[in-house]
Amino acid sequence: MAFKSEYIARVYDDVAKKNANEPEFLQAVKEVLESLEPVVEKDPSIEANGILERIIEPERVIMFRVSWVDDNGKVQVNRGYRVQYNSAIGPYKGGLRLHPSVNLSVIKFLGFEQIFKNSLTGLPMGGGKGGSDFDPKGKSDNEIMRFCQSFMTELVKHIGADTDVPAGDIGVGAREIGYMFGQYKRLTGLYDGGVLTGKKVGAGGSLARTEATGYGLCYFTAEMLKANGQSFEGKRVIVSGSGNVATYANQKATQLGGKVVAMSDSNGYIVDENGIDYKIIKEIKEVKRARIKTYLDYVPGAKYVEGCKGIWTVPCDIALPCATQNELDGESADALIANKVIAVAEGANMPSTPDAVAKLQAAGVLFGPAKAANAGGVATSGLEMSQNSQRLSWTFEEVDQKLHDIMVNIYKNASNAAETVGQPGNLVVGANVAGFLKVAEAMKWQGIAY
Ligand code: NDP
Ligand code: 2IT
């Protein structure tokens, strides 16, 4: 699409030239810039302060070697990243991803989106992201530990409770955070709870952080449905993926009256017309670290289909993509629309291609974008940081209630912002605008620090 604003067109042109080999990053930037046209037009101080040029360029990119020794005594080398994207409203905050597909483009798109997502939570957190192309699949527990220790040996130089606070993402859960936390403590001599979130409950972690992204996604979706006279009650739900976000999205969607009929991993998907029990998924993926195919050992009447893309052809009312970026394309959107889907809300980061988003919105499907819909995870990380600072622990119910309130607020703010710019119901635009304005104001207030 051609940009109407000359300023935005120039900024995008420049970023596209400079980052020509970073498609995911450019995809994320383009969407935000498209959304910001009306606010940039109205407020010349954005251009005068070079806010767009500055917000698009990370404050700092750290790339480093991670060497570790595998169980056969062979030296392995991976590439580590931490992108400290924007610190206008708080310390850099965002997860760490361990997956062979990780590269600079992926980490930059995630870090860029994190700025706006964290702003939407209403908590004082800047944007950042990190990770490595290390593949945790098939690695022994000791190999995971040695990798995490080596990763932290470099990361320690760059993080801190008031500078940069990493957490989990794909391939990083409580186990990996534990190994990293242990190494951080060994290197610094500090029991510094505030330096990482997603810690174990009882060792500085927050109750409900594990569940938070999936629960938050369903709280957000429920608000979006409610505003349109609908609910989860009696609805068929697809949740793609079977990791942290997907598992607890399943649990909450079921609690709210939905029936989760399909879930997936990177190899294939399962369909269970009686509803998939999240406890079985948790057992398969978290305890056994096995493939989702083994669901058939627990529920022989269920169906397994090889290849994960076909999951979107299963008839449903609500689709919750919770696996990875660009997993739901235009063709998948066509299938969902043909099956009369009511709502799509993104648990993963950027799971829908631009083509899919455009098709779903044009067909009148309620669409909850990742920055808003999956913000419950990082919001609860923010609550974990608050508890660490106070040296107190809140109950599960307290944290869950706060998470719920935050998600309701995010829906309201995104929805109001969409109206303000004359695009009522467009939560993609609303989330981008609401997230951006707060960061832009803080950047102006601080002058040109970066
Ligand atoms: P997990 O590692 O727990 O689970 C990831 C799931 O996605 C697995 O089922 C995995 O399948 C599947 N998956 C990963 N990569 C691919 C791929 N390339 N193709 C198909 N399937 C894939 O990660 P999370 O649940 O934590 O993260 C899922 C998504 O949610 C990510 O986009 C993440 O950025 C986002 N997110 C996570 C938050 C959190 O708090 N954890 C917060 C907000 C967003 P397999 O096992 O086969 O690899
Ligand atoms: O994408 C995300 O928001 C996360 N992976 C959670 C980040 C965090 O700091 O809790």
- Across the range 332-346, mean pLDDT stands at 98
Let me know if 129 is a catalytic residue. Answer: yes
Q: Helix 396-420 and helix 209-226: axis angle, to 10°?
A: 40
The pair of structure tokens assigned to 316 is: 């449903």
Q: CA–CA separation, 274 vs 259, rounded Å? A: 8
Ligand 2 pocket, residue 381 CB under 6 Å: yes
Q: How far is the CA of 16 from the centre of ligand 2 (A)?
A: 26
Q: How far is the CA of 341 from the centre of ligand 1 (A)?
A: 23
Name the phi and psi angles at 351, rounded to 5.
Answer: -70, -20
Q: CA–CA separation, 304 vs 107, rounded Å? A: 32
Which pTM does this prediction carry? 0.98
Ligand 2 pocket, residue 93 CB under 6 Å: yes
Instruction: Tell whether the model's pLDDT for residue 12 goes beyond 80.
Output: yes
Residue ranges with strand state E in 45-125: 60-69, 75-86, 92-98
Q: What confidence tens digit (pLDDT) does each residue in 156-181 have?
A: 999 999 999 999 999 999 999 999 99
Q: What confidence tens digit (pLDDT) does each residue in 45-98 have?
A: 999 999 999 999 999 999 999 999 999 999 999 999 999 999 999 999 999 999
Say which of 117, 129, 199, 259 is annotated catalytic: 129
* Strand pairing class (126-132; 92-98): parallel
Question: Edge-to-edge strand order for the sheet containing 126-132?
Answer: 60-69, 75-86, 126-132, 92-98, 164-167
- Across the range 397-410, mean pLDDT stands at 98
Residue ranges with strand state E in 106-210: 126-132, 164-167
Q: How far is the CA of 109 from the centre of ligand 2 (A)?
A: 13
Instruction: Tell whether the model's pLDDT for residue 127 goes beyond 70.
Output: yes
- The fraction of the chain above a pLDDT of 90, given in percent, is 99
pLDDT category at 2 given cuts 50, 70, 90 is: confident
Q: How far is the CA of 375 from the centre of ligand 2 (A)?
A: 8
pLDDT category at 450 given cuts 50, 70, 90 is: confident
User: What does pLDDT average to over the chain?
Assistant: 98
Ligand 2 pocket, residue 167 CB under 6 Å: yes
Q: DSSP letter string over 253-312?
A: HHHTT-EEEEEE-SSEEEE-TT---HHHHHIIIIIS---GGGHHHH-TTSEEEESSGGGG
- Across the range 189-199, mean pLDDT stands at 97
Nearest ligand 2 atom, CA 209:
10
Nearest CA to ligand 1 atom 4: 243
Instruction: Tell whether the model's pLDDT for residue 1 goes beyond 80.
Output: no
- Across the range 373-378, mean pLDDT stands at 98
Out of 123, 170, 206, 378, give the residue to mutate to test ligand 2, the one with the largest number of ligand atoms within 8 Å of its CB: 378
* Strand pairing class (259-264; 268-271): antiparallel
Using DSSP's 3-state secondary structure scheme, residue 2 falls into coil
Ligand 2 pocket, residue 347 CB under 6 Å: no
Q: What confidence tens digit (pLDDT) does each residue in 250-280 have?
A: 999 999 999 999 999 999 999 999 999 999 9
Q: Does residue 242 contact residue 265 with C-beta atoms inside 8 Å?
A: yes
Q: Does residue 254 contact residue 275 with C-beta atoms inside 8 Å?
A: yes
| Closest listed residue to residue 143, CA positions, set 79, 41, 68, 234 | 68
Q: What is the DSSP letter of 348?
A: S
Q: CA–CA separation, 317 vs 344, rounded Å? A: 9
Q: CA–CA separation, 145 vs 321, rounded Å? A: 30
